Amino acid sequence: MGKGISLLVMKSGASSGTDISGLVETITWSGRRGSPTRTLQVSLIDDDGYKHARSGVDIESGYQCIFSYDGAELFRGIFLRQSQSHTKTMEFKAYDLGIYLSNNKDTFVYENKTATDVFKDVCSRFGIPVGGAASTSYTIPDLTKKKTTGWDAIADALSLDYENTGTKHYVFSDKGQLYLKKRLENVLQWVLDVDTNITSYKYSKSIENLKTRIKLLSKEGTVLAQEQDTALEKLYGIFQDVDTPDESLSNAQIKSLAKSLLSEKKTPERNLILNNVLGVTDVISGVGVFIKIPHLGLNKTFYVDSDSHTFKGNLHTMSLELNLISEASPPEEPKQEDEAKKDYKVGDVVQFHGGKHYVASTASSPASTNLGAGPAKITLTNKGSAHPWHLVTEDWGKTHVWGWVDDGSFS
């Protein structure tokens, strides 16, 4: 495959496809966090002309497509919608494998299963190939979902796992296989700033859903644990939320859960919308990017909530909706035996020694090498992984480190 847009179409089950890239007018590739499905909307020339024929695609015949850009496959899925008009154009909408989670219903009953078990079982029921599944640690005592979609069952299982471990996961499709991945493993090294690629932005803050106090109750109404932020209550008054934890949790785990819930819910919502940014294919929903907008005082990492990438001719632009990543420390991990490691935490500014950084904490090869030494901030941790520390430079004149690094790479 060469540079630019490549669109192959084929009938279901076919071993090869037809390249219709020359008929493409516009392609929009998009997704949003919390959905298992990414979509591809394609506008094609639908008119017999000199040296080209019409696509011949009819969704009722079961057509699939593979979309690549600059030689890298970005999307593989099935066409489910088409339209034609007097303008002699044809429009298609395709969905990746995640659509089989959203469009299949069943009754799901699980006892003492993890979210990983649920994910694998749902995929097996509906014939969805699994490429990989991260191991989730929480055992769900009981999960029953009647006459609902496979995605509802997986989403509930992942929600229960998060409530009890503080670790978020997400589902995505890649090259015809479905994956379950830990969210913090997917913070990228991309920087978006007003000096290079941000042209239009809107930043908003809200405390409408903020909570200053969390109360966990037993099924009988007994208070099991309570956490509050007195400083915030002096500012805003009391905003309380009540929940009932899983009965299998110990007292220590319930107290830890209350702290974790308060840490998340006491943080104001900070949303950023970027329009017509110079496109980067790695920046999709669920990943993190570093945002620099001096006018707003932003020099932080945000998660992408939704993305829409538009390809037209040689131009690739993207529009993003993002949320600020909390800089609060993640749930407590088992203590490291190395005394030097225990002192580092999220928010610390350290001295990076120079060298390599990685696109993910589990990546096998570095994204960059021979980086200069200089000050950097620890923004995330994933202890126990190959590259457990995520650093963001504090001085772009000295070092461009912005990714996951190894133990011993800073002091």
Order across the sheet with 169-174: list the strands. Answer: 130-133, 177-182, 169-174
Is the Cβ–Cβ distance between 357 and 392 less than 8 Å? no
In a domain, 39, yes or no: yes
Same domain as 197, residue 296: yes
Is the Cβ–Cβ distance between 352 and 378 less than 8 Å? no
Q: Which band of pLDDT confidence, cut at 50, 70 and 90, is reported for residue 212?
A: very high
Same domain as 294, residue 251: no
Who wins on pLDDT, 3 or 224?
A: 224
Of 124, 136, 130, 121, which Cα lies nearest the Cα of 179? 130
Q: Helices 150-165 and 115-125, interaxial angle, to 10°?
A: 170
Of 316, 269, 278, 270, which Cα lies nearest the Cα of 192? 278
Give yes or no for residue 359 having a pLDDT over 80: no
Is the Cβ–Cβ distance between 326 and 263 less than 8 Å? yes
Q: Which two tokens stand for residue 239?
A: 């905003």
Among candidate residues 38, 73, 96, the one where a domain is terminated:
96
What pLDDT is attached to residue 31? 96
If you ran DSSP here, which 8-state letter would residue 273 be given? Answer: E
In a domain, 329, yes or no: no
| Integer-rounded Cα radius of gyration of the chain | 24
Q: Which two tokens stand for residue 130?
A: 């699994």
State the pairing for strand pair 130-133/177-182. Answer: parallel
In a domain, 242, yes or no: yes
Q: Which two tokens stand for residue 254?
A: 């319930």
Q: What is the share, in percent, of the chain residues with pLDDT greater than 70?
A: 92
Pick from 75-84, 139-148, 335-344: least confident: 335-344
What pLDDT is attached to residue 326? 56
In a domain, 160, yes or no: yes
Q: Which band of pLDDT confidence, cut at 50, 70 and 90, is reported for residue 202?
A: very high
pLDDT digits (tens, 9 = 90+) for 295-352: 898 888 888 999 999 999 889 999 999 988 654 333 333 333 343 445 788 888 898 8
What residue ranges in 200-268 does DSSP mark as E strands? Answer: 200-206, 213-217, 223-228, 240-243
CATH of the domain at 193: 2.40.30.150
Q: Which two tokens stand for residue 9?
A: 């179409």
What pLDDT is attached to residue 341? 44
Same domain as 23, residue 51: yes
Is the Cβ–Cβ distance between 165 and 264 less than 8 Å? no
Same domain as 284, residue 191: yes
Same domain as 215, residue 133: no
Q: End-to-end distance of the chain based on CA atoms, in angstroms?
A: 44
Same domain as 391, residue 363: yes
Give yes or no for residue 15 having a pLDDT over 90: no
Q: Count Cβ neighbours within 10 Å for each residue of 263-287 and write b for 16 or more, e otherwise.
A: bebbbeebebebeebebbeebbbbb
What pLDDT is attached to residue 164? 83
Q: Which two tokens stand for residue 243?
A: 């929940």
The CA dihedral of 249, 254, 256, 260, to the nearest 10 degrees, is: 110
Same domain as 193, residue 312: yes
Q: Average the pLDDT over 95-103 and give the result.
A: 96
Cα–Cα distances (Å) from 375 to 14, 43, 187, in that order, read 54, 48, 20
Q: Which band of pLDDT confidence, cut at 50, 70 and 90, is reported for residue 82?
A: confident
Is the Cβ–Cβ distance between 401 and 357 less than 8 Å? yes
What pLDDT is attached to residue 108? 95
Between CA 131 and CA 295 the distance in angstroms is: 43
The CA dihedral of 378, 381, 258, 109, to the nearest 10 degrees, is: 150
What pLDDT is attached to residue 49? 67
If you ran DSSP here, which 8-state letter would residue 371 be given? Answer: E
What pLDDT is attached to residue 110? 94
In a domain, 345, yes or no: yes
Is the Cβ–Cβ distance between 157 and 108 less than 8 Å? no
Same domain as 291, residue 196: yes
Residue 261: give the domain boundaries: 208-265
Same domain as 216, residue 279: no
Helix, strand, or coil here: 123?
helix
- What total number of domains does the chain contain? 5
Between CA 326 and CA 183 the distance in angstroms is: 13
State the pairing for strand pair 288-293/187-193. Answer: parallel
Between CA 98 and CA 285 the distance in angstroms is: 14
In a domain, 330, yes or no: no
Same domain as 107, residue 44: no
Contacts of 141 (CB under 8 A, 6+ apart): 111, 112, 246, 247, 248
Who wins on pLDDT, 383 or 234?
A: 234
Give yes or no for residue 374 having a pLDDT over 90: no
What pLDDT is attached to residue 51? 57
Q: Average the pLDDT over 174-193 and give the result.
A: 80
Q: How far is CA 117 from the centre of its chain?
A: 21
* Residue-averaged pLDDT of the chain: 86
- Count of CB atoms situated within 10 Å of the CB of 249: 18
Q: Count Cβ neighbours within 10 Å for each residue of 49-70 and write b for 16 or more, e otherwise.
A: eeeeebbebeeeeebbbbbbbe
pLDDT digits (tens, 9 = 90+) for 250-266: 888 888 888 888 988 99
